[in-house]
């Protein structure tokens, strides 16, 4: 892991040397500049994590650099150091973006403590930026279960935790590749730093490049400000590229360079940036077959496939299906404010018999649908098999309300919920007090769902 980067901008050679010695004795990599122009050049190649900036410099003052840095969301914190003891100046600089204002002379111990605190804030900011751009964390334990297949997966993964090479995850859609990648990061030496996730499927070349590498202001139409890429935000942490097989070939070449040299360039930039990250790739495709057809770069494949892990499909770990189903059922009931729910013995047997081509994701979706359409607090086979093939239910009489409804498999989960709530509301004359018990949810929850689905309690809606 590389040392934290500190930039000192000071025109006084003696003061510059004094500050340099303070940081060089610690876990820091130091760069120096004697003017604003020189500082801007160093910023392009050094990319500091903290800047210590003298207020008055030969070609301007600290405010000018602060205004430049304010245009970049990933700009490092700046500590302004000056001989001027002025409350008004301090307030002005803080408003312009300075993280701290110090008056000379500075005490070395206090300076180091401040630097460490700012580095912690940099890490938190990077994590927050990641969370604002990617999906929330998955909380499912990827090794939940008792089957030999899942235990073998757990043993294999734990042996790889301390190995600092890229990791490639294989698995069918819905097997939990993202959850496993998060678990690996959480238990790796990089766990104090961000986990950055990007699903490469469906992204155009330009969008994928912008997300991965970031862009400079004016790099393309609409780039009003500079933007840090996910690779930059993953510095010292882990970059997870889901569906890596879907990545454009030109982007594959750039990601290979970034993996091998730990350098990259934002779009519209002509200088290299550096980032130290662990890489986890994931795919449900056979990459070796894609090599032969030219759909995936051979050099990238061999770079990311040193260690490979295959996640078993749900049908290969049938012993775990009832346990997973009960876990999801409890979570769904809690999320929707429903009392305790349970499966009938026949329902658990039905769950184990299915092939689950969508794996854990399909299982969860099936349970959500079953909870929405259930008749009581016991989930039976009829609740689970709605929209499934074969369906185990009584035939629908032609001309009945049920016959007019579309198949559940043609509706989204929200549409199923809306139709079911609307049907119950119609049956009770749109009386919330009567409908809530039938739906098995509190009145407060029903009011929220009525508002979400645009269902009025004052008139019948079609």
Global pTM reads 0.60
| pLDDT of res. 461 | 41
**Whether residue 305 is found in the same domain as residue 180:** yes
Paired with 342 in beta bridges are 378
Who's near 408: CB < 8 A, 6+ residues apart?
369, 373, 386, 387, 416
**Whether residue 337 is found in the same domain as residue 375:** yes
What CATH number is associated with residue 414?
1.10.10.60
346/190 Cα distance (integer angstroms): 45
Last residue of a domain, one of 277, 312, 347: 312
Asked whether residue 106 is domain-assigned, the answer is yes
**Whether residue 17 is found in the same domain as residue 90:** yes
What CATH number is associated with residue 257?
3.40.50.300
**Whether residue 125 is found in the same domain as residue 163:** no
What CATH number is associated with residue 81?
3.40.50.2300
Asked whether residue 30 is domain-assigned, the answer is yes
Looking at the structure of the chain, the number of domains it has is: 4
Asked whether residue 137 is domain-assigned, the answer is no
Helix (H, G, I), strand (E, B) or coil at 229: coil
Last residue of a domain, one of 78, 105, 132: 132
**Whether residue 155 is found in the same domain as residue 211:** yes
What CATH number is associated with residue 322?
1.10.8.60
Q: Assess contact for 40 and 69: CB atoms under 8 A.
A: no
55/84 Cα distance (integer angstroms): 9
What Cα–Cα distance (Å) separates residue 6 from each residue in 67, 79, 251?
19, 11, 31
Count, in order, helices (H) and strands (E) of the chain.
20, 18
**Whether residue 346 is found in the same domain as residue 199:** no
Paired with 343 in beta bridges are 379
Q: 398 burial class (0-12, 13-18, 19+ CB within 10 angstroms)?
A: exposed
**Whether residue 186 is found in the same domain as residue 115:** no
| pLDDT of res. 433 | 79
**Whether residue 295 is found in the same domain as residue 433:** no
Asked whether residue 140 is domain-assigned, the answer is no
Asked whether residue 112 is domain-assigned, the answer is yes
Matching residue, tokens 């369906």: 391
| pLDDT of res. 127 | 67
80/51 Cα distance (integer angstroms): 8
Q: Assess contact for 21 and 45: CB atoms under 8 A.
A: no
Asked whether residue 139 is domain-assigned, the answer is no
**Average pLDDT by consecutive 10-residue portion of the chain (462 residues)?**
83 90 86 93 86 92 88 84 86 89 88 89 71 52 93 94 90 93 93 91 87 87 82 92 93 92 88 90 92 92 93 95 93 82 92 92 91 86 66 35 44 74 81 80 78 66 40
| pLDDT of res. 181 | 95
Asked whether residue 371 is domain-assigned, the answer is yes
Paired with 82 in beta bridges are 103
**Whether residue 427 is found in the same domain as residue 368:** no
* Domain interval for residue 413: 397-462
Asked whether residue 333 is domain-assigned, the answer is yes
**Whether residue 333 is found in the same domain as residue 435:** no
Last residue of a domain, one of 337, 366, 393: 393
**Whether residue 109 is found in the same domain as residue 77:** yes
**Whether residue 194 is found in the same domain as residue 301:** yes
| pLDDT of res. 389 | 42
């Amino acid at each position: 892991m590389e040392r934290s980067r500190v930039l000192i901008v000071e025109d006084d050679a003696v003061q510059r040397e004094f500050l340099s010695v303070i940081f060089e004795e610690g876990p820091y990599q130091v760069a120096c500049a004697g003017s604003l122009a020189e500082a801007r050049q160093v910023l392009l190649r050094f990319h500091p994590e903290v800047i210590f900036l003298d207020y008055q410099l030969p070609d301007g003052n600290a405010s000018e650099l602060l205004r430049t840095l304010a245009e970049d969301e990933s700009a490092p914190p700046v500590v302004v150091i000056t001989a001027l003891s002025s409350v008004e100046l301090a307030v002005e600089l803080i408003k312009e973006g300075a993280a701290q204002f110090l008056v000379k002379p500075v005490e070395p111990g206090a300076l180091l403590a401040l630097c460490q605190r700012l580095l912690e804030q940099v890490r938190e900011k990077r994590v927050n930026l990641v969370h604002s751009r990617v999906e929330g964390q998955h909380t499912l334990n990827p090794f939940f279960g008792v089957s030999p297949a899942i235990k073998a997966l757990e043993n294999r993964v734990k042996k790889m935790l301390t190995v600092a090479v890229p990791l490639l995850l294989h698995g069918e859609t819905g097997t939990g590749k993202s959850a496993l990648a998060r678990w690996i990061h959480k238990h790796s030496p990089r766990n104090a730093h961000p986990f950055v996730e990007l699903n490469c499927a469906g992204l155009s070349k330009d969008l994928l490049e912008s997300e991965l590498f970031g862009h400079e202001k004016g790099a393309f139409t609409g780039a009003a400000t500079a933007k840090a890429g996910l690779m930059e935000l993953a510095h010292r942490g882990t970059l997870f590229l889901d569906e890596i097989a879907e990545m454009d070939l030109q982007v594959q070449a750039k990601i290979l360079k970034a993996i091998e040299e730990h350098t990259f360039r934002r779009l519209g930039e002509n200088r290299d940036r550096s980032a130290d990250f662990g890489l986890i790739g994931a795919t449900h495709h056979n990459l070796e077959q894609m090599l032969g057809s030219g759909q995936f770069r051979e050099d990238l494949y061999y770079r990311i496939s040193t260690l490979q892990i295959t996640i078993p499909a749900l049908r290969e770990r049938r012993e775990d299906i009832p346990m997973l189903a009960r876990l999801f059922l409890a979570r769904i009931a809690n999320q929707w404010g429903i009392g305790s729910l349970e499966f009938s013995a026949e329902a658990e047997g039905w769950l184990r018999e299915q092939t689950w081509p969508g794996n854990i994701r399909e299982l969860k979706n099936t349970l959500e649908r079953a909870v929405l359409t259930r008749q009581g607090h016991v989930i039976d086979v009829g609740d689970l098999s709605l929209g499934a093939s074969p369906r185990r239910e009584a035939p629908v009489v032609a001309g009945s309300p049920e016959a007019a409804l579309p198949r559940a498999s043609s509706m989204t989960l929200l549409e199923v919920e809306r139709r079911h709530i609307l049907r119950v509301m119609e049956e009770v004359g749109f009386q919330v007090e009567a409908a809530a018990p039938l739906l098995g949810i509190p009145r407060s929850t029903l009011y929220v769902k009525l508002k979400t689905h645009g269902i009025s309690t004052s008139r019948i809606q079609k």
